[in-house]
Amino acid sequence: MSYARNLRCRECGRDYPLAALHVCEYCFGPLEAVYDDEAIRAAVSREAIAARPATLWRYREFLPCEADSAVDIGAGFTPLLHARNLGKALGLPRLYLKNDTANPTWSFKDRVVAVASSRARELGFEKLACASTGNLANSVSAHAAAAGMEAVVVIPHDLEAGKVLGSSIYNPTLVKVRGNYDAVNRLCAELAGSRNWAFVNVNVRPYYAEGSKTLGFEVAEQLGWRAPDHCVAPIASGSLFVKIRKGLDEFARAGLIDAPRTRMSGAQAAGCSPVATAWAEGSMNFRPQRPDTIAKSLAIGNPADGFYSLVQLRDTDGACASVTDEEIVAGMRLLAETEGVFAETAGGVTVAGVKQLAERGRIDPDELVVAFITGAGFKTAEAVAGGLAPALEIDATVDSFEAAYGPPAEEVPA
Amino acid sequence: MAVRRLRFTFPQDLIKEPVIYLIGRQFELVTNIRMADVDERTGWVVLELEGEPDEIARGVAWAESRGVRVDPVTGDVVEG
């Protein structure tokens, strides 16, 4: 059963029922699910969780919907890899990767949409909707298909082909909008306000956002029931960034791990860096930006949780990196060439961000660091396709092979 | 009639201009300031605009043409 009790405004603390609400009527602060912590503490144990299926629903007590009737396409419990080669390259011997490319639609968005779609169905919605630069669209389309719900997915007209196909295959109503980023954003805000649909990241956002906590839960469990010393995650809306830490804190309150002292650092693309820019200026007020970066999955110029990201950076002694498009591509290649993980551009931002923060001494080499790789590389193949080593093209003869590759070694293996 | 909640962000050169007064005078819109933070360098105002949807759109377009950045109050709706 779910132990969610109500929604609460993060700013003024007013309580609201567990309905399709996302913003406080009085102060416009965001609403967040709150739980019966004591009941959760009494109900959970490491052993019970460890015995459950390897999906995010193993953390059912901490989620704001009923797990038994959830929309479950297998999201979550992705690998945590000790990145020895990448760690060696960056001078971080205790570097781990949380590989969320291994989700059903190949990005971390499956976590948030699993929860949002489950709660939307509980609330009686028949249509699941989103406005997305790709990953969210893919996940909404897939979960709606599995839930027997209609999907309405709005995307900018110039998305990468892989991200468009990754939605189309599930047969949603796919709407490509002509116009710049601001125009798409404004249209979607109007649609969200005027249709009785479950817009996953708008009117059911308090439930949606809770899905990201499961990254914190999994990392703690996979490290042997302990919090990492330092997390580095990409910042788009900022929701993922703040919820990872919320997950660690909730695990501690439930008695599953010791109180975390985890430092939280972020990474943004220089072409869309409202949080990183404010952080570099020492300000807690970010200025919205017009995105211009190849990291389209992070291209949110006016992040809903931008302020809370800055608060978390400050309160946990974190830091925020800002990396160029060239550094993003280099980060994608470094990750692939050292660890065999092909990430999309957001993963390049994370790896380049870890590199930058390590070089600047903002990550201690002794720290156990977890870097969050949030989406798979085939979605943004265009970003790296032009710069890779070409194949050796040969005729079907040994001579031709040797001419291209080189002669055989002196000893031929048995 | 419709009500839109929007965040107006003012650049430094517009701080002294009565943009909110003018938007209420030049368009059939009722303005209601709900939150604000303005200093000598920059400022933002969370504004409720009440009026016909087309009139709200015209008022917002005018404010943007003056250099004001106008965003949904809850942040961007488009996500990754």
How many helices (H) and strands (E) would you count in chain A? 16, 13
Per-residue pLDDT tens, chain A, 414 aa: give them.
799 999 999 989 999 999 999 999 888 889 999 999 999 999 999 999 999 999 999 999 999 999 999 999 999 999 999 999 999 999 999 999 999 999 999 999 999 999 999 999 999 999 999 999 899 999 999 999 999 999 999 998 888 888 899 999 999 999 999 987 777 787 888 888 889 999 999 999 999 999 999 999 999 999 999 999 999 999 999 999 999 999 999 999 999 999 999 999 999 999 999 999 999 999 888 888 889 999 999 999 989 999 999 999 999 999 999 999 999 999 999 999 999 999 999 999 999 999 999 999 999 999 999 999 999 999 888 899 888 989 999 999 999 999 999 998 876 666
User: How far does the CA of residue B5 sit from the closest CA of chain A (Å)?
Assistant: 9
**Residue A8 Cα distances to A16, A197, A203, A214, angstroms:** 6, 22, 14, 20
- Which residue do the tokens 């790789």 mark? A373
Instruction: Name the closest residue on chain B to residue A30, using Cα atoms.
Output: B74
Distance CA(A7)–CA(A22), nearest Å, equals 9
Instruction: Name the closest residue on chain B to residue A131, using Cα atoms.
Output: B78
- The beta-carbon neighbor of B78 closest among A185, A287, A306 is A185
Please, what are the domains in chain B? 2-72 (3.30.70.260)
- The beta-carbon neighbor of A28 closest among B5, B42, B77 is B5
Give how far the C-alpha of residue A117 lies from the chain's centroid of Cα atoms, to the nearest Å: 17
Counting Cα atoms < 13 Å in the Cβ hemisphere of A197 gives 25
Instruction: Name the closest residue on chain B to residue A306, using Cα atoms.
Output: B75
CB atoms within 10 A of CB A311: 14
Query: Where exactly are the structural domains of chain A?
Result: 78-389
CA quadruple A300, A269, A162, A86: dihedral positive or negative?
Answer: negative
Rg of the Cα trace of chain B?
A: 12
Q: Select from B6, B37, B64, B76 the residue whose CB has the most chain A CBs within 10 Å, as the one to mutate to test that interface.
A: B76
The per-residue pLDDT for A190 is 80
CB atoms within 10 A of CB A183: 12
Asked whether the beta carbons of residue A299 and residue B74 sit closer than 8 angstroms, the reply is: no
Burial per residue of B42-71, b for 16 or more beta-carbon CB atoms within 10 angstroms, e otherwise: ebbbbbebebeeebbbbbbeebeeeebbbb
CB atoms within 10 A of CB A119: 29
Instruction: Name the closest residue on chain A to residue B44, using Cα atoms.
Output: A287
Q: Select from A28, A130, A132, A305 the residue whose CB has the most chain B CBs within 10 Å, as the one to mutate to test that interface.
A: A28
- The beta-carbon neighbor of B76 closest among A130, A297, A301 is A301
The per-residue pLDDT for A405 is 95
Residue A209 near residue A71, CB atoms below 8 Å: no
What are the φ/ψ torsions at residue A197 (nearest 5 degrees)? -110, 160
Say if domain A78-389 classifies as CATH 1.10.1520.10. Answer: no
User: How far does the CA of residue A46 sit from the closest CA of chain B (Å)?
Assistant: 33
Query: Residue A53, class by beta-carbon neighbours within 10 Å (0-12 exposed, 13-18 middle, 19+ buried)?
Result: exposed
Q: Could you give the 3-state DSSP secondary structure of residue A202?
A: coil
Instruction: Name the closest residue on chain B to residue A31, using Cα atoms.
Output: B74
* First and final C-alpha spacing in chain A: 61
CB atoms within 10 A of CB B38: 11
- The beta-carbon neighbor of B77 closest among A30, A189, A305 is A189
Predicted ipTM? 0.80
Q: Which long-range contacts (CB under 8 A, 24 or more apart) does A396-401 make?
A: none
Q: Please name the residues in contact with A192: beta carbons below 8 A apart, sequence gap of 6 or more.
A: A129, A131, A199, A202, A203, B77
Give how far the C-alpha of residue A266 lies from the chain's centroid of Cα atoms, to the nearest Å: 12
User: How far does the CA of residue B21 sit from the closest CA of chain A (Å)?
Assistant: 23
Residue A352 near residue A201, CB atoms below 8 Å: no
E strand or H helix at A13: none
Distance CA(A288)–CA(B25), nearest Å, equals 27
Residue A24 near residue A15, CB atoms below 8 Å: no
Query: pTM for this one?
Result: 0.92
User: How far does the CA of residue B10 sit from the closest CA of chain A (Å)?
Assistant: 10
